[in-house]
Amino acid sequence: MSFWELFSIILYLLYLAIAIYASIIIIYRKLDPIKSLSWIVVMLMLPYVGLFLYLFFGQNYRKRKIFNRKGVRDERVRRIFANNQLKHLRTNPSYLPGNLKPYKKLIMLNLRSSRSTLGTNSDIEIYFHGKDALDAMFSSISGAKQHIHFQSYIIDDDIVGNKLKNLLIEKAKEGVEVRVIFDDVGCWGLSSEYKSDLTKNGIELLNFSPVRILTPTSKFNYRNHRKILVVDGTIGFIGGVNIADRYYNGGNFTEWRDTHIKIIGESVASMQSSFLLDRYFIINRQFNKRKKYYPMPVSEEFFSLEPGNKNIHCQIITSGPDSDWASIMQCYFAAISKAKKNIYIITPYFTPNESILNAIKIAALGGVEVSIMLSEKSDTSIAHWCTMSYATELLEAGVKVFLYSKGFNHSKVISIDGQFCIVGSANLDNRSLDYNFEITGIIYNAGVAQSIEDQFIKDSEKCKPLASSKWAKRSRSNQIKESFARLLSPLI
């Protein structure tokens, strides 16, 4: 036996020992059984590579507190307000107005899991196309007087990206405080010149969790997928729209559908605190003078207001490896479980955990009309095949599946019974629900929810309904692609 043969055997045995040890750790940590099995299969099928993938993508930092925000002033304030609202909800049966009483448990869940205070807002506007959302954001930025806090997963150095850059520079020259947070992976191709143009004009530009090839860290799996714009602490935007030409004009797709919301009111304070907490993670520094960033704090007496078009109640929910609970996943689960008549869901990527998948199937089997809209074509092949691997069990449960065929539908929305809805940055996939920093809003207003449902019906005219009989006859090669992609679902 040659030296290299002996070396190969020793190396393989060493890998096998480490893989077995890692498998024991996976089982010991009591993860989701499907996820645990998937990781074990990946390690066995992809020697060396599989172990590397687990070490960098399979860790759960929510429990290990790698990202810690306890003790931060903004977090303490959130906790105080949430606890005060919880106290009133427990002790005063008449505290909630009539239209919110059916959602008391859901509201309390979000208060406990995410410290998501319930705010009253004078206006919430929905944008169903990236062009409209971006135009509205640019308009709000142009009107800023004190500060602009902008955060995006993707910023491209293209026409839309440069329009944003020029607007921010213009406002900074006027004396407006401008801060920008971008994700290092999402903005991987953003040029140094673009960044330099911002910083040399007095704009605070912060890179979330930089990736360094020579000093790899498993933190790079935890990306900041939030899209936030706060202007003067009174106007806020969240949703699915990033900063790139394709969100404005469709790019390589015929059309790029998305959903974004603008909020004016108390809930903007929750968006602000999310931005400032992310800023703290990056530079480990807080503001001493905070009042100007919170001109519309949540009032303890807002529940006394009567519901109406100009009193729209909303909770802003954040989730990520810094949170004690998978708050957005829990909110999705509770909302779906609460449905009595219908559920409308739009998501570009559908790789849910077992809890969400079962909630959807149980609702459909129980007589709730469940409609899910996916994109016929995706911007990521592996995500597309993994998404389609769930179609069979959805159809068997009676879920109506629509494939958006005019372009790409990047929206992340859920509407329940035409009474309340959820809009934000979080997809119904493992990455959004377990790994990413995400933000979403749950809006308790029938008018807003009905707008979401009306748009779903309009979108369905651009869809191909997925029929069980036709789906069962899809090619064997597609079924194989789906099966292999499903094994990689923990990574997607």
Decide if 153 contacts 225 (C-beta within 8 A): yes
- Which neighbouring-strand residues pair with 148? 178, 231
Instruction: Identify the pLDDT of residue 460.
Output: 98
pTM above 0.85, yes or no: yes
pLDDT in tens, 256-288: 999 999 999 999 999 999 999 999 989 887 776
**Confidence bin at 54 (pLDDT 50/70/90):** low
Instruction: Identify the pLDDT of residue 284.
Output: 84
Of 417, 429, 434, 459, catalytic: 417
For residue 216, the SS3 value is coil
pLDDT in tens, 177-212: 999 999 999 999 999 999 999 999 999 999 998 887
- What contacts 448, CB < 8 A, 6 or more positions away? 124, 126, 312, 421
In order, the DSSP letters of 67-89 are: S--TT-HHHHHHHHHHHHHHHHH
Tell whether the model's pLDDT for residue 125 goes beyond 90: yes
Question: Higher pLDDT residue, 1 or 242?
Answer: 242
Which of 41-55, 204-218, 246-260 is the least confident region?
41-55
Question: Higher pLDDT residue, 420 or 310?
Answer: 420
Of 129, 384, 412, 481, catalytic: 412
Instruction: Identify the pLDDT of residue 306.
Output: 42
| Catalytic status, residue 412 | yes
The backbone torsions φ and ψ at residue 98, rounded to the nearest 5 degrees and listed phi first, read -55, -40
**Confidence bin at 471 (pLDDT 50/70/90):** very high
Question: Rounded mean pLDDT of the chain?
Answer: 87
Tell whether the model's pLDDT for residue 43 goes beyond 60: yes
Dihedral angle sign, alpha carbons of residues 452, 454, 459, 463: positive
| Catalytic status, residue 149 | no
Which of 45-49, 56-60, 235-239, 378-382 is the least confident region?
56-60
Which of 6-10, 99-103, 152-156, 304-308 is the least confident region?
304-308
Of 74, 232, 429, 459, catalytic: 232
Of 165, 410, 462, 481, catalytic: 410
Instruction: Identify the pLDDT of residue 489.
Output: 74
| Catalytic status, residue 225 | yes
Which of 10-19, 162-171, 385-394, 482-491 is the least confident region?
10-19
Question: Higher pLDDT residue, 308 or 294?
Answer: 294
| Catalytic status, residue 417 | yes
Of 129, 225, 338, 462, catalytic: 225
For residue 96, the tally of other CB atoms under 10 A from its CB is: 19
Q: In angstroms, how far apart are the furthest CA atoms of the chain?
A: 84
Which of 125-134, 376-385, 400-409 is the least confident region?
376-385
Of 149, 195, 227, 481, catalytic: 227
Tell whether the model's pLDDT for residue 60 goes beyond 80: no
Instruction: Report all structural domains of the chain as residue ranges with CATH numbers, in order of start.
Output: 3-64 (no CATH), 73-319 (3.30.870.10), 327-491 (3.30.870.10)
Instruction: Identify the pLDDT of residue 95.
Output: 84
Decide if 256 contacts 217 (C-beta within 8 A): no
Tell whether the model's pLDDT for residue 295 goes beyond 90: no
The pair of structure tokens assigned to 115 is 């410290």
Which of 228-237, 281-290, 312-321, 428-437 is the least confident region?
281-290
Question: Higher pLDDT residue, 395 or 220?
Answer: 395
